[in-house]
Structure 1
Amino acid sequence: MENTVKLKMFILLAGCVFFVFGFSFFGAKAYGAFFTKDTVPEGVTVSGVELSGLSEKEATDKLDAAIKSWYENSFYFLQADKELSLDLTVVKFDVDKTVDLALENKTANISAKIDGAGLNQLLQNEISSETLKALDRKALSKELAAAASELVEGIYSISLDKFYIKEKLPKTILLSTSLPNETFTLENSLTVTIDSKQTFSLHSYIEENKLKTLDEHTLKWLATAIYQTILPTNFVILERHISHVLPSYAELGKEASYIAGKQDFIFFNPNETAYELKLTQDENFLNITLEGINLQKAYSLTMENDKKYKPKKIVQYDPKLPENTTRIEQEGIDGQSITVYRNELDKNGNIANTVLIADDYYAPVHQIEKTALQSIEEVPDLQDPLLPNDSENPDFDQSEDDFNNGMSEYPEQNTNLNQNPNLNQKQVPNQQTPAEKNTVEENELWEEPAFEKGEG
C-alpha cells in the first residue's frame, strides 16, 4: 500500500515537471506565433524595399507602390539588328507569393515572370521567322525576369545575340567584295570560320589547312581580299602590313600584305556569334562573301587625304653604252598616301562614332635611267678670241720651265693636267671636266625629295 502511494506521488511530481517545462518552451512558441502572425520579421528587404515589422497588408501595399514606380520609370530594350523597345506589361509580378515568403523570411527579390505570349508577339513582329527559330526564348525570358525582379529603375539593354542557338541560325550574306584575278590561282574554294570572341591569324589558318603550296603573291592577294571585306564591320584589326608598292589588284587603303614568318594578318571577332568568309575564284575575279547573323550596328568607311607623290629621275652614266644612248633601268611609280576611317552608324544611318583604322603611305619609286658618257668637248686653241693672245699680251709669254714652276703652286690642278695629257696646258676659265660635270648633276638628282622635306 505504501509503495502504491509513493508511485502515485512520483508520477504526480513528474507530470508537474513536464507540465512546467512544456509550458515554458512550447508556450513561448505559441505566444510568439499568436502575437506576430502576418508580421514580417526584422531585417527583411525585398528588391530594395524594406518590409521589416509590416503586416501582410502593409507589405503588399508597399510592394505594389514600388512596382508601379518601376513600370513608370524603367525602359527595357532588346538589341537585334535594330533596337527593340520591350512593352513592360509582359513582366508580371506575384506580390502575394512574395509577401508569403517574406513572412517566412525566405526571399530577397520579388517574384517575377514573363508573359510568353506577349514576348513572342513582339519578337514575331520584329524578327524574321528563320532567325526566331534559333532564339532560345526560355533563356531570354529567364534573364528578363531576373532583371525585373530587382526592381531597379532606369534603362536596361540586352543583346539577343547570346540567346541564339548557333547551329540553328540562318546564314545570310552580310558583305561581298571581289578582286581582279590577274595570274593567281586558288586551287579550291576556301571557307574561313571566324569564331565568336576569337582571334583569326592568316598564318595559323595557312598552317592548319596546309596551304603552304600557295606562293607568296597569292597569299598577299588573299590577305587583301579578307581585309577589304571585313573593313566595314566591327572586327578589330590587330596586325596588318602593306607592300612597298600598291599592287595593281588592290584599292588604295584596302590592301594587306603577308610574308610567311615576317608579316601576318590578324584580327578579332568581338561578336557573340561566329561568321564565315567564303572565297571563290572564277575566270576574272576572286569573290569574297561574309556570312552570318546581322551585326548589331551598321558601319561605313571614309577615305581622306588621298595624295600622290611624283617620282624623281635618277641618271646614271654607263661607259659601256653607245654615244647618245639612254636606257630606262627602272620605271618611275607615283607614291601615294591615304587615311582610312571606320564610321559606326546609328539606326537612322547617321555617323555616331568614327575610328581611325589606317594611315597608309607608299613611297614613290624613282625612275632610273642609264645614259652614255658625253664626249669631251675640244678645248679652244690659243687663238680663241676669248683667250689672251701672245702678241697682244707680252707678259703672257713664259718659258716652259716658268709655266711648270707656276703650276707647282697648285698641286690639284697640276695632277689633273698630268692625268689628261691631251688637254692644252693653258688654263681655260670656267671650264669643267666631264667628271666634275657628272658630280654636279648627280648631286642635283640625289637631292632630298620634296615630299621628304615636308614640301609635298
Structure 2
Amino acid sequence: MNRRTLWIGLFSILFLIMLSTAAFASDFRFGKHFSDHTFIGPFNVSGLTEAEAIAKLTDNFVEMTEKAQVALLYVDTVVHVPVELLELNVRETVKQAQSGIDNPIKADVSVNGLTTLLAQQLPIIHPSTASIEKIAAAIEKEMETGIMPVAVQVIDYLEETELPLSEIYSFNFPVDRVSQQLNNAFDRIDGLEVGPFETISMMEVLDGIELSDDEMSILSSVVYQAVLQTNFTILERHTRSSLTPFVEGGFEAAMNQSLGLDFTFENPNKTSYRFRTDKMSDSIKITINGPAFYYSYVPYISEFTSYKPRSVKQFSAFVNEGHTVVANEGREGAEFVVDRNIILNDEVVRTEHVSKDYYPPVPRIELHPLTNKTASTSLSQELQNQGEDREGANTNQNEMNGKLMENNDSSSNRNMNSPENEIIEGQAIYDKSGLPIKGK
C-alpha cells in the first residue's frame, strides 16, 4: 500500500512537470497574452500577445516621439528638448509590462546630448555630470505616462554650488529725504524674502510702522523700481492725481491707508529671492538677490508729454481795483509711458509695455477786481464773440451794441445803491462750479 501510494505521488509530480513544460513551451512559442484592463501608457494592449503589443506600440511610439514636447524650465526661460535626444524603448516596455494594470513607458534620454544642450542654451549654469543624469532621469520619469507636454524644473536637480546667484541692482535713494520712520521701514525691507510663487503686500510688510501715505508711497515706489528689473508679476499698483514727492515720474506706486490702496506683486518662479538695503553715506541702495535671471530687464520712459495749465480769470468784489490775486499758481500736467527691454547677451530680444501714467494739469486761477466797467466790457465782449459765430454777424452785433448802450444809459440814471445793484460787504463770490472764491 505504501508502495502504491509512492507510485501515485511520483506520477502526479511527473504530470505537473510535463504540464508546466508544455505551458512554458506554448508561452515561449506563441507569447503570453495580456489580460483585460492592461494598459501601457495611454495604449490598451488587453488581449494581445507580446509580439502583437510590440507591433502595435512601435507605430504609436514613433508618432509619440515625433510629437513629443519636452521642456526644461529655468527661472524665466524655457529650453525645448529636441526629439533626437529622446527614445521610447518598445521591447523593454512590453517586457516589463504586467497584465491587468497600468504600465509605464520606458523612455531613454541621451545624457551626452542633454549635456550639449544645456551648455548651449543655459550657459549661466554649470551642472555636473551627476546633476545632468538626474535631469535625464526626471525627463524619463515624466514621459512614463505618455502624456504631453512634459516639463522639468532644472533648478530642482542642481547643487547649490551649481546655481548662479546675482545681485539685481535697483535704486539709490538719497538719505536726506529719509525720516526716522522711513528709515525704520527700509530696515523692515532688508532681508525680506519672496518665496516661490509667493505674493507680497506692502501694506502687510509695513504693518506696525507709523508712516504717512507719502512715506509709504515713496518706499513702495522704490520697491516697484526694483521689481521692474525682474520677471515678477505686478498685481496691484496705483498712482495719484499728482506725483508723490521725491518719486520719479512713471515709477510711482502710490499707497493710501484709509482707502486700502496697496502695492502687491508675485514671484512666478520656483526660486526664492531676497531684498537687501545697504545704507551708504549719501543714499540707501536697494537690491534683490537670488538665482540669476536668464534675461536682463531694463525699464525706461519711452514717451513723455507735458501739458501746460490753462489760465482762468475770475472776478471778485474783494480784489482792489488795479490789483490781481493769484488764487492758485497751477501745475503742469504730464504723461509718462514706461516700456521695458528684455535683453540677452547685450541684445534686445523684445520690448514690452509696462504702464502709462497720467497726471492732469491744474489751471492757474487769477482773481481780478469786479467793477461796472469791467462787467460792461466783459458782457460786450461776450456778446461780440457770440455774434461772430452766427449768420448776419454785423447786423446782430449792431443791434446788441445798441441795446447794450441803452442799458448802460438807463443804468447810469439809476440809483447805484438800489438793492439790485448793491454789492454787500462781506458777500461771497462764487465761481462757475459753485465754490466760493477767496481773494485779497
Coarse TM-score class (shorter-chain normalised):
0.5 to 0.7
The letter for the 1-side match of 2:251 is: K
CA distance in 2, matches of 1:417, 1:280: 78
- Sequence identity percentage: 20
State the partner residue of 1:143: 138
- 1:216 aligned to which of 209, 213, 216: 213
- 1:199 aligned onto 2:196: no
- 1:36 aligned to which of 27, 52, 64: 27
The letter for the 2-side match of 1:266 is: T
Asked if the contact 2:307–2:334 (Cα under 8 Å) also holds between the matched residues in 1, the reply is yes
Asked if the contact 1:67–1:151 (Cα under 8 Å) also holds between the matched residues in 2, the reply is no
- 1:362 aligned onto 2:359: yes
Q: CA deviation at 1:370?
A: 4.3
The letter for the 2-side match of 1:420 is: N
SS at match of 1:420: coil
SS at match of 1:227: helix
Alignment of 1:223-372 (within 5 A): 223-247=220-244, 249-262=246-259, 263-282=261-280, 284-295=282-293, 299=297, 306-315=304-313, 323-340=321-338, 349-351=348-350, 354=352, 357-371=354-368
**CA shift digits 1:54-96 (9 cap, x unpaired):** 456x766776776666666646443436554546676576666
CA distance in 2, matches of 1:59, 1:30: 24
CA distance in 2, matches of 1:73, 1:197: 30
**CA shift digits 1:248-297 (9 cap, x unpaired):** 53333221111224221112221211223334454554433233223455
Q: Where in structure 1 are there 5+ consecutive unaligned residues?
A: 1-7, 380-409, 422-431, 447-456
Asked if the contact 1:169–1:293 (Cα under 8 Å) also holds between the matched residues in 2, the reply is yes
Alignment of 1:22-101 (within 5 A): 31-37=22-28, 39-43=31-35, 45-47=39-41, 53-54=48-49, 74=68, 76-80=70-74, 84=79, 86=81, 97-101=92-96
Q: CA deviation at 1:361?
A: 2.1
Q: CA deviation at 1:318?
A: 5.9
More moved, 252-261 vs 82-91: 82-91
SS at match of 2:170: strand
SS at match of 1:292: strand
Asked if the contact 1:374–1:434 (Cα under 8 Å) also holds between the matched residues in 2, the reply is no
In the superposition, relative to structure 1, how do residues 103 and 282 fare at CA in structure 2: closer, same or farther (>3 Å)?
A: closer
In the superposition, relative to structure 1, how do residues 269 and 178 fare at CA in structure 2: closer, same or farther (>3 Å)?
A: same
Q: CA deviation at 1:150?
A: 4.9
CA distance in 2, matches of 1:155, 1:103: 26
Q: Where in structure 2 are there 5+ consecutive unaligned residues?
A: 377-406, 436-440
In the superposition, relative to structure 1, how do residues 71 and 249 fare at CA in structure 2: closer, same or farther (>3 Å)?
A: same
The structure number with the bigger radius of gyration is 1
The letter for the 2-side match of 1:78 is: L
Asked if the contact 1:182–1:249 (Cα under 8 Å) also holds between the matched residues in 2, the reply is no
What's the C-alpha RMSD, in Å, of the aligned pairs?
5.1
SS at match of 1:37: helix
CA distance in 1, matches of 2:27, 2:14: 19
In the superposition, relative to structure 1, how do residues 167 and 225 fare at CA in structure 2: closer, same or farther (>3 Å)?
A: farther
In the superposition, relative to structure 1, how do residues 443 and 115 fare at CA in structure 2: closer, same or farther (>3 Å)?
A: closer
State the partner residue of 1:171: 165
In the superposition, relative to structure 1, how do residues 164 and 320 fare at CA in structure 2: closer, same or farther (>3 Å)?
A: farther
SS at match of 1:243: coil
CA distance in 2, matches of 1:25, 1:235: 71
